[in-house]
Amino acid sequence: MKRIGFIGAGSMTEAMIKGLVKKGSVEPGQIAATNHSNSARLEKLEKTYGIRGESDTAKIIDFSDTVVLAMKPKDAANGIAGIRPYLKEGQLLISILAGIPIHTIQHYAGQELPIVRAMPNTSASIQKSATAFAVSPLVSKEQIREAADLFAAIGSVTIVEEAALDAVTAIAGSGPAFVYRFVEAMEAAARELDLDEQTAKKLIIDMMTGAAKMLETGRDPSLMRRDITSPGGTTEAGIQILDELQFEETVISCVKEAAHRSAEIREQFAVKI
């Protein structure tokens, strides 16, 4: 993999750097990062991972074959405009900016460049992100491979059409929060049943891990659910309550609303062109 420069040095940047260094995809000296003003943050990344921290954005762009846009979305317009004079023809831009479409990034960049728009999630911090990305027409096959290698360092990778990224954001991006909310409810139920906190937490984690592994077998989840649900048994009693409270409809509405909000954010950025 070629040299990579991160514009922005937050938690997702650190997760990607950690994954790249751990996997050995690139040497630490091939990675550079900058941020707006937090020099202590750059020093921490330098000391922890052996990368190059740089306060001069122009030097980052000159150093990099691939530039990862990892600033806060609200700073995107000024951030991309700030690097615009230094961008080079054919330089790959990878955006992990939630909600900002490719054509808007292209506008801010001020020239036709190959652009990858990606949606990783917070599980990147343990190299378990489910990342999907879309590409602009100028992205070459080699650059697609480079982007895939980059995100493979933090988990699984799926290539999609850009139109699918609102759904991806809702399912893979926001999805972990929905799972955590479910776990919070399970923990609350355990408390009401007088199960001690540590025992409940371990049982819930082990249960979720085991269920995820079962899903990896490829079996239909409805079939696996029915395997557990004996007539007149405890599971059936619980499932009946979920059905009465419209659990499936609630989850569907939850995911659709998250996707709708992603589309709203995308439109907010798009109208600024």
pLDDT tens for the chain, 273 residues: list them. Answer: 689 999 999 999 999 999 999 988 889 999 999 987 788 999 999 999 999 999 899 999 999 999 999 998 888 888 888 899 999 999 999 999 988 899 999 998 988 999 999 999 989 989 999 999 999 999 999 999 999 999 999 999 999 999 999 999 999 999 999 999 999 999 999 999 999 999 999 999 999 999 999 999 999 999 999 999 999 999 999 999 999 999 999 999 999 999 999 898 888 776 444
140 is in an annotated binding site: no
Cα distances from 176 to residues 121, 171, 180, 182, in angstroms, run 8, 8, 6, 10
Look at residue 267 in the predicted model and tell me its pLDDT.
83
Look at residue 1 in the predicted model and tell me its pLDDT.
60
Same domain flag for 129 and 183: no
Same domain flag for 132 and 246: no
As a dihedral over the C-alpha atoms of residue 18, residue 23, residue 26, residue 31, rounded to 10 degrees, the angle is: 0
Q: Cα–Cα distance between 25 and 151 in angstroms, integer?
A: 11
10 is in an annotated binding site: yes
Instruction: Check if the beta carbon of residue 135 is closer than 8 Å to that of residue 115.
Output: yes
Same domain flag for 10 and 70: yes
Residue 55's domain comprises 4-165
Same domain flag for 124 and 183: no
Same domain flag for 11 and 126: yes
Between CA 191 and CA 195, with CA 194 as vertex, the angle to 5 degrees is 80
End-of-domain residue from the set 165, 184, 199: 165
11 is in an annotated binding site: yes
Instruction: Check if the beta carbon of residue 38 is closer than 8 Å to that of residue 58.
Output: no
Same domain flag for 62 and 158: yes
Contacts 24+ apart (CB under 8 A), 76-80: 76/100, 76/105, 76/108, 76/269, 77/108, 77/272, 79/7, 79/8, 80/105, 80/108, 80/109
28 is in an annotated binding site: no
271 in a structural domain: no
**Spatial CA neighbour of 225 closest among 62, 215, 43:** 215
258 is in an annotated binding site: no
Same domain flag for 45 and 157: yes
171 is in an annotated binding site: no
Residues in Cβ contact with 30 at an 8 Å cutoff, skipping those fewer than 6 apart: 1, 2, 3, 4
Same domain flag for 21 and 130: yes
Instruction: Check if the beta carbon of residue 83 is closer than 8 Å to that of residue 107.
Output: no
End-of-domain residue from the set 165, 186, 221: 165
Same domain flag for 30 and 101: yes
Longest dimension (CA), the chain: 69
If you search the block for the tokens 């992603």, which residue do you land on? 262
156 is in an annotated binding site: no
71 is in an annotated binding site: yes
12 is in an annotated binding site: yes
Q: Cα–Cα distance between 42 and 33 in angstroms, integer?
A: 7
Element (H, E) at 68: strand 66-69
Instruction: Check if the beta carbon of residue 68 is closer than 8 Å to that of residue 97.
Output: no
9 in a structural domain: yes
28 in a structural domain: yes
pTM, to two decimals: 0.86
9 is in an annotated binding site: yes
Domains of the chain: total = 2
158 in a structural domain: yes
End-of-domain residue from the set 114, 146, 165: 165
Same domain flag for 142 and 231: no
